[in-house]
A and B are shown apart, each in its own frame.
Chain A
Amino acid sequence: MMDLLKKVVDKGDLLGASQVEVYAGHVLSKTVVAEKGEIKMALASRSRGAGIRVLYKGGIGFAYTTSLSKEALEETIKKAIKVAETRGKDPYYKTFPSPQQTLSVKGLFFKETAEFPLDEMVEKVRYMVGMARDFDKRITSVASEFSISCGERFLVNSLGIESSEKYSLSTISVYSVAEDKGTMTSGYEFQNERDIRKLDYERVANVAAKMSIELLHPRKIETNVMEVLLKPIAVSQLIRPTLIRAVSADNVQEKRSFLIDKLGKQVTVEELTIVDNPLLEEGLRSRSFDAEGVASRELKVVENGVLKTFLYNSYTAQRAGVENTGHADRSVTSEPAIAPSNLIFEHKVKKDLEDLISETEKGVIANSVIGAHTANPVTGEFSVALGECMYIENGEIKYPVRQAMVGGNVLQLLGKIKCIGRDVRQVGSVITGTAVFEEVTVSG
């Protein structure tokens, strides 16, 4: 593959581009799906593609292809050059990144994951389904999925970057529906691991099943001000469309962010520090180089509540005249955008989840938030429903909540964060435990 990509770069030179870059990848994935307690389907997918970027007369051009034939690649280079011509000289962008020393990241690829046989996946799915179904006789329907994907990504540019990296990922999930006396509820759980041997099939099945049973017979709560405990899934869902978008330099530069005048300022409680670490061993978003080939390194984004930096790719860094933080992210079919890698939330006050609950006088604990993708990324305003939500009073979980909503501004909410639990897990790019927010209005 590397040789083929180097030829593309040479061809681009020949066609007159001053700089050429190819980002390519191939991935194999397989999935087993069960529904209503039975295996439903097995899926396999083989895909590859290449995105070609050129600098031509000062303009940036990009085009992609999923066919890697010589003709298709040549056609794609020509298209990219045509785009660069149409676009004209860019006011800010001078060069693609140059080669740098990359640090190796442990635990991105496991051959045990890549070689895990399909029939064993089927067996595990049946095991999880059986486990969840046998948890309680009120469980009426169980769905489950097991998927594995393995691939390799490549970055070659005419300045001398030639990087490639293999990766593997395995994911299991269980969805359990429970019914009792006319009420119907559901619970779910999932686990992602680079190393398939770390998957805990029993735990995932039991958590989902238990959740569906605990949520039976929900009650209404009155609209009131109380503590809100958001579990890691909920925190991640809320942060992704708001804070993560706002901290991306492109949105800051284009004034589409609520953090534009916040650099160096207090944006959350002093006790909170947020670190982006692409080098984390076995991290789900770990990588030794970003999608433009820039070497990964650890970065403090928020330190003791103060916003220290935005996340940059090569374009936004050159535009701002700052050092590139190496946060280019993209698929082969798009130009580099910006995304965090593993975003770690650390609070000075850490407690066990049990203690977070026992210290809550009056509040709710939610596993997820519903509708976070509808939050306003420009202003940080959001209005979401709490999913899989339980009411807490005098330190004890009392009953499931029928309906609860929380609204406000994400920065205001982050200003109310009191502590974070030790129940740390990674959901998407966010790594956090359950976060406790004080004095939040919950509509019931």
Chain B
Amino acid sequence: MKDLLHKIIEEAVKLGADYVDARYEKTFSTTVRISNERIERVSTGVDEGIGVRILANGAFSFFSSNVLDLETIIRQVKESVRTAKALGDLKKEKIRLAEVRTVKDSVEIKARKSPQEIDLEEKVFFIKELNKISRGLDNRIVNSTSTIIDAYDKRILVTSEGTEIEYIVPRVYFGLDVVAHEAGRQAWYGKREAAQQGYEFLEKFEPEEVAKFVVNKVIKLLKAKPAPAGRFTVVMDNDLTGVFIHEAFGHACEGDGVAAGESILKDKLGEKVGSELVTVYDDSTLPGGWGSLKYDDEGVPTRKRTLVEKGVLVGFITDRESAAKLGLEPNGGARAESYDDPPIVRMSNTYIAPGDWRFEEIVEEIKYGIYLLGSRGGQVDTSKGTFQFNAKEAYLIENGEITSPLLDVSLSGYTLEVLANIDAVGRDFEIRPGFCGKGGQAVPAGTGGPHVRARNVVVGGRRR
């Protein structure tokens, strides 16, 4: 396949391209979902294709194809070079790419039990157990759905500058979701785990423990009451802190949005953007991290990026284009979901650094507030600086005590207000796996941090 990529680059350069990157990707993937001990869904297959980005006359064109015959592709190369040149004529500000050193490397994340080598029966064993055990733990459980998704992803990147990187990453992801009914009430709780590993990842988990954890949560939620609406002091757990800092702040640090003038942080580098208790990192090098990667999809070595240091904005996440526009160094933030997508600026593992508060200290001063745990995700508008995200689980805090469970609660607000209102940062730390969506592309991303307390946050309940 490397030959095909070289041929593409050769042809494009011959036709006048100033820069080309050609990526090949082949992904073997299996998904299995079991619902109440019946295999509900199995999908297994191979997706293979190329994605080519061409810079000519200061403009980009991109094409992708999973039809890999040379003639079709060369025709598309010609058209793409022509397109880029034509677009370039219309541009006042030509696209430049920040200089980088070329790299030749081959990276393989080794799997002891590679998704490629294990047969379906073995793949299903763990989630079958999860399903059976969780169903049997409590007669209020009416549905138990367990899912396993694996991928064995091979990528090759070749650029016209001489970079050549081969990348092999195995991934395993599992989830357990349970539904409980009692006296006309329903509750749902789910848990997901994932790693850049083979099936050996599952050895870390006792099905019994995972099942008990999830079932205990859902039974508690059966007793939940509607949440109050209005402004409250809130405490976020590790998981939610991670989602908050990723959604509300991390997205606004993405260099493409900053350079396009679409981020509230665009003129704030070096300025105070939050409480001095807050330090934020986006670390692509975190060992074993779900969002970790050694090189980005432009072949730039990644690093640990400090975004906020003691409340001051000190960095952005950049690709080569946004780095050139912003006068910054490219720091390996370009990621593409698959061959079908051009790389765009993305986060990797984003977290708030731990502080020195104990959990009891964080909660004990609160007269009336809300403790929020976990998240099903959120959404952000980086130009308005607003966010929404949801908690999987929430409790009232009354006079320093955690009391009644609450029905589905979300938080919303202005990022910079909430960051300024953080007045306690815990000493604990956890990072969780998730998927981040942007521009129609979903990539694995880690999010985390300690327990964090913030004042005066809007909570979307339904009673006054």
**Interface on A for B, CB 8 Å cutoff?**
35-36, 38-49, 51, 60-67, 72, 76, 79, 82-83, 86-87, 91, 118-119, 122, 126, 140-141, 143, 175, 177, 184-186, 215, 223-225, 250, 254-256, 258, 333-335, 370-371, 373-379, 381-385, 387, 402-403, 405-408, 441-444
Contact = CB atoms under 8 A, between A and B. Distances in A.
A241 to B, nearest CB: 10
Contacts of B38: 91
Given A371-B389, A384-B460, A441-B229, A38 B42 contact: no
A444 B408 contact: no
19 contacts: A42-B83, A46-B64, A46-B67, A47-B64, A66-B47, A66-B48, A66-B66, A67-B48, A126-B90, A177-B383, A184-B383, A254-B40, A334-B41, A370-B386, A371-B388, A377-B188, A405-B388, A405-B410, A444-B458
A382 B262 contact: no
A383 B461 contact: yes
A370 B261 contact: no
Given A44-B62, A119-B86, A122-B86, 6 more contacts: A44-B61, A44-B83, A334-B41, A384-B460, A403-B412, A407-B461
A373 B377 contact: yes
A44 B79 contact: yes
B300 to A, nearest CB: 19
A407 B227 contact: yes
Interface string B376-387: 111101011111
Nearest to B243: A374
Interface string B328-362: 00000000000010100000000000000000000
A29 B198 CA distance: 35
Which residue of A41, A141, A377 has the most chain B CB atoms within 10 A of its CB atom?
A: A41
Contacts of B87: 39, 41-42, 122
7 A-B pairs closest in CB distance: A405-B460, A374-B390, A371-B388, A64-B45, A383-B410, A378-B188, A381-B408
A177 B67 CA distance: 39
A152 to B, nearest CB: 14
Given A61-B42, A184-B264, A385 B386 contact: yes
B460 A383 contact: yes
Nearest to A40: B60
Given A39-B90, A378-B188, A405-B460, A254 B262 contact: no
B230 A38 contact: no
Contacts of B407: 379, 381
B70 interface: no
A47 B40 CA distance: 28
Interface string B140-153: 00110100000000
Given A63-B44, A407-B408, A256 B179 contact: yes
> What interface size band does chain B fall in?
35 or more
B49 A66 contact: yes
Contact of A443 (B80, B229, B259): B229
Which residue of A42, A61, A223, A258 has the most chain B CB atoms within 10 A of its CB atom?
A: A42
A318 to B, nearest CB: 14
B223 interface: no
Nearest to B266: A184
Contacts of B101: none
Interface in B79-102: 79-80, 83-84, 86-87, 90-93, 95
B244 to A, nearest CB: 13
A65 B46 contact: yes
A379 B189 CA distance: 11
A69 B163 CA distance: 31
Contacts of A333: 43, 45, 47
Contacts of A186: 262, 381, 383-384
B35 interface: yes
Given A46-B66, A184-B264, A385 B186 contact: no
Interface of B: 31, 35-36, 38-49, 59-68, 72, 76, 79-80, 83-84, 86-87, 90-93, 95, 119-121, 124, 142-143, 145, 177, 179, 181, 186-188, 226-227, 229-231, 256, 259-262, 264, 340, 342, 375-379, 381, 383-390, 407-410, 412-414, 458-464
Nearest to A251: B143
Contact of B65 (A45, A49, A87, A377): A45
A371 B95 CA distance: 34
Contacts of A215: 384
A14 B188 CA distance: 45
A183 to B, nearest CB: 9
Given A376-B408, A383-B410, A385-B388, A405 B63 contact: no
A83 B120 contact: yes
B229 A407 contact: yes
B59 to A, nearest CB: 7
B408 A387 contact: no
A50 B154 CA distance: 21
A402 B458 CA distance: 12
Contacts of B187: 378-379
A199 B375 CA distance: 39
Contacts of A335: 41-43
A240 to B, nearest CB: 14
Contacts of B378: 371, 374
B397 to A, nearest CB: 18
Contacts of A36: 259-261
B388 A384 contact: yes
B296 to A, nearest CB: 18
B84 A42 contact: yes
A383 B392 CA distance: 11
Nearest to B42: A83
Which residue of B47, B187, B414 has the most chain A CB atoms within 10 A of its CB atom?
A: B47
A184 B415 CA distance: 13
A403 B460 CA distance: 11
Contact of B383 (A118, A185, A224, A407): A185
B44 A407 contact: no
B171 to A, nearest CB: 16
Contact of A405 (B44, B256, B412): B412
A87 B32 CA distance: 10
A383 B390 contact: yes
A42 to B, nearest CB: 5
Contact of B412 (A141, A177, A370): A370
B386 A441 contact: no
Contacts of A403: 386, 412-414, 458
Contact of A376 (B63, B188, B342, B375): B188
Contacts of A254: 35-36, 40, 143, 145
Contacts of A45: 63-65, 340
A275 B389 CA distance: 32
Contacts of A79: 44-45
Nearest to B38: A91
A21 to B, nearest CB: 14
Contact of B44 (A83, A119, A184, A384): A83
Which residue of A64, A333, A405 has the most chain B CB atoms within 10 A of its CB atom?
A: A405
A405 B387 CA distance: 11
A45 B342 CA distance: 11
A374 B410 contact: yes
Which residue of B83, B256, B387 has the most chain A CB atoms within 10 A of its CB atom?
A: B83
A184 B385 contact: yes
Contacts of B84: 42
Contacts of A379: 186-188, 407-408
B66 A49 contact: yes
A406 B227 CA distance: 11
A36 B342 CA distance: 18
A62 B31 CA distance: 11
Given A43-B61, A370-B412, A184 B384 contact: yes
Contacts of B95: 40
A225 B464 contact: yes
Contacts of B388: 370-371, 374, 384-385, 405
A41 B342 contact: yes
